[in-house]
Amino acid sequence: MKMARRACAAALLLMLGAAWTSPRAFAQLLSLPGSLVVTMTSPASGSTVAGTVPVSASVSIVGSLVVAGVQFKLDGANLGAEDTSAPYSVSWDTTAASNGSHTLTAVARDLLGVQYTSNSVSVTVFNDTTPPTVSITSPANGATVSGTISVSADASDNVGVAGVQFLLDGAALGAEDTAAPYSVALDTTKVANGSHTLAATARDAAGNRATSLAVTVTVSNAVRFEETDSSVTFTSGWASDASKSWSGGTAAASATPGAQATFTFTGPSVNWIGGRSPGTGIARVLMDGVFVSEVDTYSKTEEIRVTMFTANGLSNASHILTIEVTGRMNAAATSALVVVDAFDVPAPAVSRLQETDPDVTYTAGWSLGVDTSRAWSAGFAAVSSTPGAQATFTFTGTSISWIGARGPQTGIARVSLDGVVTTVDTYSPTEQIQQAVFTATGLADATHALTIGVTGDQNAASTSPLVVVDALEVTSSGIQIQGTDPAITYGPGWIQDNRDKAYSQGSSAESNTVGAQATFSFTGTGVRWIGARGPQTGIARVFLDGAFVEDIDTYALTEGPQHTDFTQTGLAAGTHTLTIQVIGKNPVSTNFWILIDAFDVVP
């Protein structure tokens, strides 16, 4: 009996003791044998994390325990809700934590509430919230552009730039550039003339973005208006001519004194395209009703589809250009005929280089300086029927035209421009002399190579595989100023109105007097001196803003009228002077002649 009372008292004491013990301690008193081993599996200790990352752990069961859940902790505080089923993980938005070192752990709980804590892992949070910096470096704000240009930008970031997307008028321009230097090509001939904005958006790997300040450029690509366009009107006395390779197939011609052609246009400049020959006369030119100059269109050789007159520096508004037949002619001319073929707005800077230019090289198989059977530009053309014969022309510009011939007896040429090859069939049932048989526009303002190859093949209707290289027309950036412009000051020893070669707009200035100087004043960032090279040309000394630049030997074995003798770019925007001085000649040259035909000015 006493023993029973003692057992009941012991049981009562045990029950009272359990009431005074914590639930966890009590669970441990009653727990089943075994344990939970908790291991952090992600992220790795020592790693750097950003954005939203998964935090995960594994639980290994020793014995017969059951996992009730896993609670992840960040710096000792709960991270998300307890995960009650494997695999155990939680998403951690690290942007809610400060940048720096943090500790992650996982605590597993069994059915009795006993907790088992993992090893801790230390991670470094680094969320990049600093956007990149980006700016357009080319073209310059306010620049006038044409052809294909390179748009470039500088971009930097505290971590790294992931890519730069260029923008034209707010829309994506090309694909994102993911590697420095950042640039994209823009073919301005594919957009309208006028004002446009360029910008660039840079991004980093964290998704931060920044957009540059926009630069404004003016696209100015020449638009050709044929003489048949409604913007061109004629008084009586004009006749349509289709006997030559005119632009658009026809031109208007008149020898009637007082006959007028009027062109209404909008733009800052204009070129009158016509023809000059031994049989063309003198025209009066008026702009907005005001007399500008008389243009003598006489030339020793016939030149078709060439610039007769240029007006630069006009307001970008509506203007009226009037060409009037005077009925007068050069003393050497045989007729007073005036030709109106087309108009270019705005006026491009165009030079027609002859097939004899020193920048044209020929392989064997060409006949040079012999063929005078047609009215070739400057009187001669290079011809070949030899398969594999090539002519290569190296030039700098935004457009190129191969001036050749089409006819019943001409063949198929292989044309390569900077390695891009095309086939040109020059056959025509009727002869087209001084015809532009190949033209490429929208080129980058850089150095290019054009190769014309004779294939030996011909159209089934042709009688010969003959290929003709007569001239090469190059359009360059900027505006062209003729040698007669008042911006050029000629000292003693210069001869004006020289017409013995196929010069720009028909004439040039020349001197063979040692010491003779000519100075050109211009406003821009670059300049090209258009002169001539040949067996009789000399050495010139060039000064820019009064400082000596270099001596240029213009001697060449072959004639090169309208040749670019000197180029200077990268000048500070502003007014400059270019001085050309005759100083001597190459020992093998036959004379000292230095020619000033025109200047190209880059704004």
Nearest to 305 by CA among 262, 218, 244, 258: 244
What CATH topology corresponds to 352-476?
Answer: Jelly Rolls (2.60.120)
On average, the pLDDT of the chain sits at 94
Q: Do residues 582 and 540 make contact, with C-beta atoms less than 8 angstroms apart?
A: yes
Domain ranges of the chain: 1-29, 31-125, 133-219, 223-347, 352-476, 479-602
Nearest to 399 by CA among 211, 187, 238, 550: 187
Q: Using pLDDT thresholds of 50, 70 and 90, give the confidence band for residue 9.
A: very low
For 94, list phi and psi in degrees, rounded to 5.
Answer: -70, -15
Task: Give tens-digit pLDDT for 297-324.
Answer: 999 999 999 999 999 999 999 999 999 9
Nearest to 102 by CA among 122, 84, 73, 82: 122
Task: Look at residue 21 in the predicted model and tell me its pLDDT.
Answer: 43
Task: Look at residue 33 in the predicted model and tell me its pLDDT.
Answer: 72
Q: Measured between alpha carbons, how far is 548 from 564 in angstroms, rounded to an integer?
A: 19
What separation in angstroms does the CA of 539 have from each of 534, 550, 581, 586?
Answer: 11, 10, 9, 7
**479-602 falls under which CATH superfamily?**
Galactose-binding domain-like (2.60.120.260)
DSSP per position, 272-304: EEEEEBTTB-EEEEEETTEEEEEEE-B-SS-EE
Task: Give tens-digit pLDDT for 266-297.
Answer: 999 999 999 999 999 999 999 999 999 999 99
Q: Using pLDDT thresholds of 50, 70 and 90, give the confidence band for residue 28.
A: very low
Q: Using pLDDT thresholds of 50, 70 and 90, give the confidence band for residue 32.
A: low
Residue 24 has pLDDT above 60, yes or no: no
Task: Give tens-digit pLDDT for 506-534.
Answer: 999 999 999 999 999 999 999 999 999 99
Which is it for strands 390-397 and 381-384: parallel, antiparallel or unpaired?
Answer: unpaired
Same CATH fold assignment for domains 31-125 and 223-347: no
Torsion of CA 580, 581, 585, 589, to 10 degrees: 50
Q: Measured between alpha carbons, how far is 433 from 437 in angstroms, rounded to an integer?
A: 10
**223-347 falls under which CATH superfamily?**
Galactose-binding domain-like (2.60.120.260)
Task: Look at residue 433 in the predicted model and tell me its pLDDT.
Answer: 98
Q: Using pLDDT thresholds of 50, 70 and 90, give the confidence band for residue 603.
A: confident
Average pLDDT over residues 121-148: 94
The amino acid at residue 528 is R
Task: Give tens-digit pLDDT for 322-372.
Answer: 999 999 999 999 999 999 999 999 999 999 999 999 999 999 999 998 899
Percent of the chain with pLDDT over 70: 95
CATH class of 31-125: mainly beta
Q: Do residues 221 and 186 make contact, with C-beta atoms less than 8 angstroms apart?
A: no
The CATH number of domain 133-219 is 2.60.40.10 = yes
Task: Give tens-digit pLDDT for 34-77.
Answer: 899 999 999 999 999 999 999 999 999 999 999 999 999 999 99
